[in-house]
Amino acid sequence: MIDQYFQKQDVMRRLIYALIPLFFFAVLLYGWSVLLQTAVVFAGGIATEYVFTRQRGKKISEAVLVTCALYALALPPALPLWITLVGIVFAVALAKEAYGGFGRNIFNPAIAGRLFIFLSFPVPYNAGWIVPASRGPQGFSGLFGTTQAAGVDTVTAATPLALLRTGEIPPLMDLFLGFRGGSSGESSVILILLAALFLVATKTANWKTMASTFLGALTAAGAFFFGGLIPGLSPASFPGLSALVPLAAYMMSGSILFVTVFMATDPITAPNKPLAQFVYGLMIGGVSMTVRTLAGFPEGTSFGILVANTFSPFLDEHLPSPKKKKKKLQTAGATQ
């Protein structure tokens, strides 16, 4: 039935499969409102693409489903629905279809939509963070939407990055499992890593781009931390190996891992040459951490992706391709 209206794209379907566990976990953390927000995103994104593809006599690309899924998971859970809708319409109409549709866009549509509403509606955007479900000695509390914590205003809940800027380090296990605030789908490190393994095993995503993005982010974060430039975190307060704890918390906070696995590996906006892909990943990670640390924004991954998208054609054009190995010719009588 779906093939009647959508172009079948197996790569896009595998990406959706990898994202499904993150949606389930987002509902556990923030309640059923995540499903309503997701429904608005998919309805708006599919309808917007239909308007354009209908004029060309083509089917809707399944890539728009990936754009919708990534955009929905990258949003604050309590973002007003009308702002959510504005963002996905912008993402599909102006960041994708305006360039000619699938395969022609130069910017990642989901990130473009997210950054557009962040810059256009910063107050409601930053008020969209809520307290997620938590874990404790008695088990898990606040699942399925009962996220009100005692004495905490859920619409101004601090994200891990905000806590780190005050010198408070969230428990590493909570960061790893995902029981912390943030965008709907960015929190669970373990689920993101499992998704990465699935994408690499099925040859859906390039592991080298993932590795170089993480390397770029880790290098920049380490330089800023040990240089004493990260607000609230001073290496002098964590002597010896204990200094790795706040650095690990800094890396597991925010959306850098989510972006590394699902955004940096976008085959449309990423370069094609191996060396270009490596530099591209370094650029995403480095710019993301630079903006996060030194600029006045709560996170820098959207800027990292869009800056790297801008330079992607340049990297493909000017960085060398790998040299092809010459096949050894075996001639008769050449055996010794």
Cβ(289)–Cβ(331) below 8 Å: no
pTM of structure: 0.89
Distance CA 105, CA 127 (A): 31
Average pLDDT, the chain: 88
- Count of helix runs (H) and strand runs (E) in the chain: 14, 4
Using the predicted structure, report yes or no on whether residue 244 has a pLDDT greater than 70: yes
Distance CA 330, CA 333 (A): 9
Instruction: Say what the pLDDT of residue 93 is.
Output: 97
The region that residue 236 occupies, defined by phi over 0 for left and psi between -120 and 50 for alpha, beta otherwise, is: alpha
- What tens digit of pLDDT does each residue of 185-216 get? 999 999 999 999 999 999 999 999 999 999 99
Mean pLDDT, to the nearest integer, of 121-138?
83
The Cα-based distances of 109 to 73, 216, 278 in angstroms read: 14, 23, 22
Q: Which of 83-87, 248-252, 309-313, 319-323 has the lowest mean pLDDT?
A: 319-323
Mean pLDDT, to the nearest integer, of 157-163?
81
Question: DSSP labels for 104-123?
Answer: T-SS-HHHHHHHHHHHHSHH
- What tens digit of pLDDT does each residue of 271-325 get? 999 999 999 999 999 999 999 999 978 889 999 999 999 999 999 999 988 776 6
Q: Which of 151-165, 166-180, 283-297 has the lowest mean pLDDT?
A: 151-165
Cβ(113)–Cβ(44) below 8 Å: no
Using the predicted structure, report yes or no on whether residue 217 has a pLDDT greater than 60: yes
What SS3 class is residue 169? Answer: coil
240 pLDDT tier (thresholds 50, 70, 90): confident
Instruction: Say what the pLDDT of residue 247 is.
Output: 93
**How many CB atoms are closer than 10 A to CB 333?**
4
Q: What are phi and psi of 107, to 5 degrees?
A: -115, 145
Instruction: Say what the pLDDT of residue 321 is.
Output: 83
Using the predicted structure, report yes or no on whether residue 172 has a pLDDT greater than 50: yes
Cβ(106)–Cβ(311) below 8 Å: no
- CA angle in degrees (0–180, nearest 5) for 70-13-314: 60
The Cα-based distances of 63 to 10, 70, 273 in angstroms read: 10, 11, 22
Instruction: Say what the pLDDT of residue 40 is.
Output: 98
Distance CA 320, CA 275 (A): 7
147 pLDDT tier (thresholds 50, 70, 90): very low
Using the predicted structure, report yes or no on whether residue 150 has a pLDDT greater than 50: no
Please tell me which residue, 45 or 146, carries the higher pLDDT value. 45
DSSP state of 296: S
Using the predicted structure, report yes or no on whether residue 92 has a pLDDT greater than 80: yes
Contact partners, residue 247, CB within 8 Å, separation at least 6 = 221, 222, 225
